[in-house]
Amino acid sequence: MIMDPDAWGIDQLRAEIARRGAAAGRARELPVDYYRIGYRLSWPLPITARPQDFPAPIPGIPTYPWLVWIGWGLEERWAALHNAGATETVLRELAALAGWSTFVDDSDQAGLITASIALWLTRGLDAADGPARAELAGIADRLITESLLPRYRRERTEPPADDLRRLQNIRLIPLFTAGRLAAVLDHPALPEVRELADQAVSLWVRLRRDAGYTEGVGYDGYLTEHLLEWLAVAPDQEASDEIRQAALSWPATAVPGRPEVQVPFGDIEPEMTQWLTVVAAVAATEPGLAAWCRTVPLRAFPSAALARMLAWPETAGTAAPKPAITGVRQPGAVALRTVDQGLVGEVLVAVATPRVEVGHLHHDAGQVILGWRGRTWISDPGYQQYRAGAEQDFTLDHGAHNAPVIDGAGQTRRGAVLAALSATEAVVDLGGCYPESGGPLRRTVRLDEDTVLIRDDLAGATEVITHWLAAGDLHWQFVDGWARLSVDDQEEALWFGCSSTNLSARWLGRHPGSRGQLTLTVPTTTERTDWVLVLDPSAGWQPPSKSILEKRS
């Protein structure tokens, strides 16, 4: 098949690498955007001492993880410089880490900052020689001996409470990446680290397969990027297969028209792009996935992903990807997609199916997100605000999702069961997600070209509230019992209707903690309710006939 004419090629990739390298070379400070809590800070380069002077504690989090975002910024900077050939600058800045008193995180144990530093000490040791390498080896030894090992040795007497805590990303990421550093150094503690890392890999594989373990695409991408570091020195075929399957599934939940953006389930902010690095790594041996990568704007990839793609075989991605028209299942979600079809174009309907009790997943089983033409029309906050207050309530309470609130009770457990999945339909059993239920609770979602039908069968329910959120940049209006959503350029619209009630502007409001999204709060009193979404590529003002619900039931 012929390569997509809009896809980027090797010349554009090299130009992007050069652009980033030049910008990093000119930089005199490291800007850090704490996007969740709205702080923007910076540090002079090179950072010769571990940062310690931070703003006052965030309400609800006495020890905020400020160092995590510094580590991410350093990773991106050093990758941009290294890709562009400015390795000597990277080595000088790594040598400046000798002035750091410790490499632990804000809670004084090995954490995500430990992993960021370990990752680039490994790269530095590969690039350096002579006295420069010896200096980096000394810093690496300190990181392993003084910052990494105490955490895991303490676990001998204070082990994690259960398997889910053993798999927390903040525990495993430093273990995997500093583990590779220990292997490169042939550190005396390598056997100890290897035993811990191999146990973690085995547990991760088992719970992925047996229990659908996930923390959502954003955090799964973050974890597996660092797991790849460990697998480079301790290969494990089962773990590699799990990473491959995950990477192949992630494009299915990317927004049509903006493939670099994942639909906003749980905690999945667009700033977390590590999943793209994992996709780029797997795509080296998956031509269809490589072709998909070539449709993602180069500016969206982290520099670590650019390095992966620069190392691809010349033929990678030269064949157009096959259209994903079948139902795609991930551990915590399913995706129904159509191909690019006439005026409507490509459509995505994603449905949340969380099954494990981890904090980065929300109580949102059955949550439906509609992606079309570069945005999510029916959406979700897509994050949790760490700072206590109205915004945290908005991102986490029952009104944050369109899963039904039944007789005053919202979901309190992550117990979705995917009852059926086909190319056009998903059926999710919600009964295990509520405190109690008088009968079966089920949501059926069907995608049919330009129409999405959502059926809620809620046996025993007498009063149901459903909260529908749209993207914050959309315009609402109500016509003959239908809600209409449109965009600034007036090129397309979405019609939204309900079988049991006429939708009204009086139900539209803005939560005090919202960053811009409005919520349509719809009360219904029937055990069965059908919702219908109709895509209108002409942005007309004539609503569909409600007979569409009868025809598609």
- The 3 state secondary structure assigned to 280-321 is HHHHHHCHHHHHHHCCCCHHHCCHHHHHHHHCCCCCCCCCCC
pLDDT value at 553 more than 90: no
Q: Of 171-175, 351-355, 474-478, 544-548, which range is least confident?
A: 544-548
Angstrom distance (rounded) from CA 27 to CA 66: 21
β-bridge partners, 477: 484
Who has greater pLDDT, 270 or 92? 92
**Average pLDDT of 318-323?**
62
What is the value of pTM for the model shown?
0.95
**Do residues 446 and 502 lie in contact, with contact meaning Cβ atoms separated by under 8 Å?**
no
Q: Report the pLDDT value the prediction gives residue 348, as an integer from 0 to 100.
A: 96
Q: Report the pLDDT value the prediction gives residue 322, as an integer from 0 to 100.
A: 57
Query: Band of the pLDDT at 387, cuts 50, 70, 90?
Result: confident
Q: Report the pLDDT value the prediction gives residue 359, as an integer from 0 to 100.
A: 87
Query: Band of the pLDDT at 550, cuts 50, 70, 90?
Result: low
**Is the preceding omega at residue 46 within 30 degrees of 0, hence cis?**
yes
Q: In degrees rounded to 5, what are phi and psi of residue 268?
A: -145, 75
Query: Band of the pLDDT at 340, cuts 50, 70, 90?
Result: confident
**Average pLDDT of 448-458?**
95
**Average pLDDT of 290-297?**
94
Angstrom distance (rounded) from CA 498 to CA 454: 9
| Helices and strands, number each (H, E), in the chain | 16, 21
**What residue has token string 């030894």?**
141
**Do residues 365 and 473 lie in contact, with contact meaning Cβ atoms separated by under 8 Å?**
no
Tokens representing residue 299 in the block: 């500016």
pLDDT value at 132 more than 50: yes
Which of 380, 373, 377 lies closest to 354 in space, CA to CA? 380
User: What is the torsional sign of CA 101, 111, 273, 137?
Assistant: positive
**Average pLDDT of 290-306?**
96
pLDDT value at 212 more than 50: yes
Q: 213-223, pLDDT tens digit by residue?
A: 999 999 999 99
pLDDT value at 81 more than 70: yes
Q: Report the pLDDT value the prediction gives residue 317, as an integer from 0 to 100.
A: 79
Q: Report the pLDDT value the prediction gives residue 412, as an integer from 0 to 100.
A: 94
Q: Report the pLDDT value the prediction gives residue 146, as an integer from 0 to 100.
A: 98
Q: Report the pLDDT value the prediction gives residue 551, as an integer from 0 to 100.
A: 54
Whole-number percent of the chain with pLDDT over 90: 86
Q: Report the pLDDT value the prediction gives residue 268, as an integer from 0 to 100.
A: 84
Query: Band of the pLDDT at 408, cuts 50, 70, 90?
Result: very high
Q: Report the pLDDT value the prediction gives residue 121, as an integer from 0 to 100.
A: 98
Q: Report the pLDDT value the prediction gives residue 545, as an integer from 0 to 100.
A: 86
pLDDT value at 58 more than 80: yes
Q: For residue 26, what are the contacts with CB-CB under 8 A and spacing of at least 6?
A: none
Whole-number average pLDDT of the chain: 93
Q: Report the pLDDT value the prediction gives residue 526, as an integer from 0 to 100.
A: 86
Q: Report the pLDDT value the prediction gives residue 506, as an integer from 0 to 100.
A: 97
Beta strand spans in 312-406 (E):
328-330, 333-337, 347-352, 368-372, 375-378, 405-406
**Average pLDDT of 421-443?**
91
**Average pLDDT of 259-266?**
94
Query: Band of the pLDDT at 422, cuts 50, 70, 90?
Result: very high
Who has greater pLDDT, 132 or 5? 132
Q: Report the pLDDT value the prediction gives residue 313, as an integer from 0 to 100.
A: 87
pLDDT value at 6 more than 90: no
Q: 233-250, pLDDT tens digit by residue?
A: 999 999 999 999 999 999
**Average pLDDT of 147-161?**
95
Who has greater pLDDT, 95 or 59? 95
Q: Report the pLDDT value the prediction gives residue 457, as an integer from 0 to 100.
A: 95
Angstrom distance (rounded) from CA 184 to CA 126: 8
